[in-house]
Amino acid sequence: MNSEFVQILKALSDETRFDLVKLLLTHDFCVGALAKRLGLSEGAVSQHLKLLREAGLVKGEKRGYWTHYMVEREKLIELAEGIKGLTHLLPCPEGACLRKGNAKIDCRKGGKIMCCDTKCQYPERLKGKPEECTPEQIKICHGGEEHPCEEKKE
């Protein structure tokens, strides 16, 4: 659902489209009625509705001469559940340091641990240079006893 999830969020990120969805949650409307209520041209409303349809958020139903639009409420429920599911993600098992992309970076060069694009989850808790960090700060930020940018003592 990842790409669909992103497409829905992008569609809702526009204030006008968000307003359209809110309005359509209260009642089914045709393009003309939506345009009048939102103070937009019918062409603008049609373009916004097209993006909302492509994202699966609204559908149209022919009623006589006009097409009336309604929200696909199930899609909004799926979106809400997906966002709620994000709150249950667990921290990375490798600790708080993140690596570039999916590749593991070998930090060891010539017997030394080099600073290798690691990013601290809580940089505000560190003083900057590895030698200025307390062991407690290193453990909180990097999940271990050693700072990954510090030269290994032999």
Q: Is 1.20.80.30 the CATH number for 2-86?
A: no
Tokens 């809580």 belong to 122
Distance CA 41, CA 33 (A): 11
Determine the distance from the C-alpha atom of residue 59 to the mean position of all C-alpha atoms in its chain, rounded to a whole number: 25
Give the helix/strand (H/E) hosting 26. helix 15-26
- Helix (H/G/I), strand (E/B), else coil: 149: coil
Using one digit for the tens of pLDDT, what is the confidence trace for 110-119?
433 334 444 5
Tell me where in the chain the CATH 1.10.10.10 domain(s) lie: 2-86
Q: For residue 94, give Cα distances in angstroms to 19, 39, 99, 118, 144.
A: 42, 53, 10, 12, 10
For the cut 60, the answer to whether the pLDDT of residue 150 exceeds it is no
Average pLDDT over residues 43-67: 95
Average pLDDT over residues 89-118: 44
Tokens 């969020």 belong to 9
Using one digit for the tens of pLDDT, what is the confidence trace for 29-38?
999 999 999 9
